[in-house]
Amino acid sequence: MIVKVKIEEQIFQVEISDLQQRPIIAVVDGDEFEIWPEGEPVKPMVEFVAENPIKQPINHQPVAPVRSTSVPSSTPKVATASGITPSTSNNTLLVVRAPIPGVITAVDVQAGSEVSVGQQLCVLEAMKMNNSIRASRAGRISTVHVTTGQHVKHHDILITYAG
């Protein structure tokens, strides 16, 4: 996989063969670097793969910023990364999507509501059955994208968290 990393107006082509491998081997302009992401284990990322198998835009991949690019060398360098920051992987958890197609029959939260885990956010009727859509994380609701009576397709965004 090739990732473009922009550092101070300069764009680097970073080639990474396997993100799961430790250290991550990144090739920048022909130079090989070993990268140990901080904040292991990398569980959040694995989780979001399970949450949401849709491919993320490539710039969302939690790639460690490479600091040692200014020191070209033929031997692998050890670069410390700032780790996988929660903000990148949490982007997928910030939205609540329709798990199945159906009709919204009730909306229990509004913009600004504080919700706790397991709290009902809205009700999605599918196949004549009311499905309770519950909060999988605590937080404040930023936007409610649906209204009662609205038809939603699979994977439509229902609710966005503030963060």
Which chain residues interact with another protein by CB under 8 A?
Answer: 50, 53, 99-100, 118, 126-129, 131-132, 134, 136, 154
Query: Cβ(28)–Cβ(66) under 8 Å?
Result: yes
State the nearest-atom distance from the C-beta of 128 to another protein, in Å: 6
Q: Which is nearer to another protein, 11 or 127 (CB)?
A: 127
Specify the residue, 50 or 71, whose C-beta has the smaller distance to another protein.
50
> Please, what is the minimum distance in Å from the beta carbon of residue 147 to another protein?
21
Q: Are 96 and 156 in contact (CB under 8 A)?
A: no
Nearer to another protein, 6 or 155 (CB): 155
Non-local (6+) Cβ contacts of 39 within 8 A are 83, 84
Shortest distance, CB of residue 87 to another protein, whole angstroms? 22
Give the three-state DSSP class for 68.
Answer: helix
Q: Please state, in angstroms and rounded to a whole number, the distance separating the CA atoms of residues 163 and 161.
A: 5
Identity (one letter) of the amino acid at 151? H
